[in-house]
Each structure stands twice: as C-alpha cells, then as structure tokens.
Amino acid sequence: MKVKAKSPKAKFGLPTVFLLCSLFFFAGLFTFTLLSHVSFPQFLSGPRSVTRTLQSEDGEDHGPLPQGETGDSFIQSIPFQVLSWKPRALYFPRFATAEQCESVIEMAKTKLRPSALALRKGETAESTKGTRTSSGTFISASEDETGILEIIEEKIARATMLPRTHGEAFNVLRYEIGQKYDSHYDAFNPSEYGQQKSQRFASFLLYLSDVEEGGETMFPFENGLHMGMSYDYKKCIGLKVMPRQGDGLLFYSVLPNGTIDQTSLHGSCPVIKGEKWVATKWIRNQEDLE
C-alpha cells in the first residue's frame, strides 16, 4: 500500500511542482515589470530615480542649436554634485588640472602675507586675531601671464553663469598645520558691516592641493542643524568638504530673494597633516566690486 500510494505521487509531483514554480516565477516577473513601468519613480526617491528621469527617453543625442551672438557653438558638460540645498552648495570634481593648480601655487608663493579680515563695527585687527590664521594673496587673471587664471575664471563663469566681471580677484590661500578659518559668512550683513556697494553672494573655492588630514571646508548649519544652539564658531562640525587637488566648491551666501542665507555659514577646519592651498573667487551682485 505504501509503495502504491507513493509512486503515482512521485511521478506527477515533480513536473507539477516545476510547472507551478515556473508559473509563479513568470507571474511575479510580469507584475514586477508592470509595477516598474507604472510607479517606479514613486517607489524610488533618490539619486537613481533622479538620474533616470533626467536621461533622454530615446537615448539619442541632440546636437547644439544655433547660438546667439554671445553664445557657444558647442555643448559642454561640467560635472557637478549637489552637496546641499541649505546652503546651495555644488561640488565640481576635477574642475582644474593638477598642472594648473601647481602653477597657481607657484605664482602665489612669493606674494603670501597673513590673511586679513573684513572688520565689523567695533572690531580691530587685534580683537579678531586668531580667527583666520592662513596666509594669502590676491591675484587677478590679468596679472597672470601664463593665462591659467583666465582659463579657470572663464570656466567658473560658465559653471555659475555669473559673468567674469562680477568676480573679485582670486584670493589664494595657504593653511599650514593648525591653521584654520573660524566659521563666518562671506556676505556682508549691512547691520554689522555698514552699507556696501555690492554684496558677495556666491563663492567658488578651487582646491589647489590635497590635504593629508583636516582642512575641510565645513558648513556647521547645513540644513538648519546646530542653528538654535549656541554654536562655538571654532568647532569643526556639520557638512564637511574634503579638499582634493583640482576640485571646485561653489556655494551661495544669499537666497534668491536677496536675504543672507543663514545656513551658508562656513569655515576651514584646522589642517592636521600636510598643507592646504585654495583659490577663492567671491562673486558679487554688482560689477562694482567693493
């Protein structure tokens, strides 16, 4: 009896199980495919879905259009990563070449002086000593006979779509071990600094060197973090951007409606190992750069 009952089951069992498995597999695949097409973007909110929606549907490249008198005849891509919306901060990997960076360091080396600060009402050089301990110098593109600063400046103008005429001269800075810049705003608050002819509303930092350890650009108030608390302006916290030779960092100090973005507070963490070189370009809202 045992043998009889078992053998038919075994004969029909295997193909049946196989058939059922296949059926479930294909049913599952069908459902997944259907869901993927209908509601994939709703399921996935993240870099992947953003990339998907930004990609062209047919994958066919569209060539350049006829340009205006001041435009380009070609399509250019400058890769970037949004590091933060609060503040609006973009990272540009390999914005400049290592050779370009080394040349800018060479030009600046002989001209370095202790970095100065824009003083608030009531502040003196003595009272702000220790806030910014780097050395630096201003170099304008027109002073640079190699033409490298002009190339970099031109690329910054393209990446930001902010005209070159709105940029200050490059401020090339060197931070040695222990040197830093306490958190501050690049924009001038009129109540603290008095009325200015123009406002620094965007900053572009080009890292001219790698730093072995430390030296990150930090945004302690990123996304409103640490804002309510009594934050120590010397503390190295929040969103940190590691300096890497040739990389660029752009952030906006002013909101679209013209008020200073409180989350654009930033500083330079102390260099722990190595040396940090950076070229900063402040971009103003007026061509009058004062």
Per DSSP bridges, beta strands 113-114 and 81-84 are unpaired
Q: What is the dihedral of CA 270, 117, 153, 218, to 10 degrees?
A: 30
Give, as ranges, the residues between 269 and 288 that touch ligand NAG (CB under 6 A): none
Q: Applying CB under 6 A, which part among 91-99, 125-133, 233-241, 255-263 lies near ligand NAG?
A: 255-263
Closer of 245 and 264 to ligand NAG (Cβ): 264
Q: Applying CB under 6 A, which part among 157-165, 184-192, 226-234, 254-262 lies near ligand NAG?
A: 254-262
Closer of 178 and 224 to ligand NAG (Cβ): 224
Nearest alpha carbon to residue 136 among 178, 169, 165: 169
Interaction of residue 257 with ligand NAG, rule CB under 6 A? yes
Interaction of residue 189 with ligand NAG, rule CB under 6 A? no
- In the sheet with 181-184, reading across from the earlier edge strand, the strands are 181-184, 266-268, 217-219, 239-241
Closer of 221 and 277 to ligand NAG (Cβ): 221
Q: Applying CB under 6 A, which part among 36-44, 75-83, 136-144, 253-261 lies near ligand NAG?
A: 253-261
CB of 258 to ligand NAG, least distance (A): 7
Interaction of residue 86 with ligand NAG, rule CB under 6 A? no
Per DSSP bridges, beta strands 276-284 and 200-207 are antiparallel
Task: Name which position in 47, 259, 273, 288 contacts ligand NAG (CB under 6 A).
Answer: 259
Separation of alpha carbons 127 and 186, rounded Å: 19
CB of 85 to ligand NAG, least distance (A): 11
Structure tokens at 216: 């990150």
CB of 179 to ligand NAG, least distance (A): 34
CB of 140 to ligand NAG, least distance (A): 33
CB of 265 to ligand NAG, least distance (A): 15
| C-beta contacts of 121-129 below 8 A and 24+ residues apart | 121/192, 121/193, 121/194
Query: What does the DSSP assignment read for 136-194?
Result: EEEE-GGG-TTSHHHHHHHHHHHHHT--GGGBPPEEEEEE-BT--EEEE-SSPPHHHH-
Separation of alpha carbons 251 and 267, rounded Å: 13
Task: Name which position in 198, 255, 285, 289 contacts ligand NAG (CB under 6 A).
Answer: 255
Binding-site residue total for ligand NAG (CB under 6 A)?
A: 3
Applying CB under 6 A, the residues found at the interface with ligand NAG are: 255, 257, 259
